[in-house]
Amino acid sequence: MKAEFFKTLGHPVRIRVLELLSIREHAVAELIPEVGVEPAALSQQLAVLRKANLVITRREGATVHYRLASGDLAELLRVARGILTGVLQGQAELLAGLRAAPQ
């Protein structure tokens, strides 16, 4: 079950959508320019997130709004960003060390 959860998170568009939704609720029309994909592609990725119960929808007339199903997901994204920042910082330090080494 955990592997399926992380598999669901394993797509750049879905990660971007979740990051945007961790800030606030968004209408689909607001997500399209922020995510930078065609509406059909965004709709497909939103369906995956809905099926996994990671997002909740709210309809206002013809407009569909999305929000995270849990604040824990926003925390997970924040922690992942911190881990990746540390990894990249370590790689930058390694690269700097290699550049400074005599040839």
pTM of the complete model = 0.83
pLDDT for res 66: 98
19-66 pLDDT, tens per residue? 999 999 999 999 999 999 999 999 999 999 999 999 999 999 999 999
pLDDT for res 89: 86
- 71 Cβ contact partners less than 8 Å away, ≥ 6 residues apart: none
Percentage above 90 pLDDT, the chain = 80
Q: Where are the beta strands (DSSP E) in the chain?
A: 26-27, 55-60, 63-68
Region 65-90: mean pLDDT is 92
pLDDT over 80 at 103, yes or no: no
Contact assessment for residue 44 and residue 85, using Cβ atoms and an 8 Å cutoff: no
Strand, coil or helix: what is 103? coil
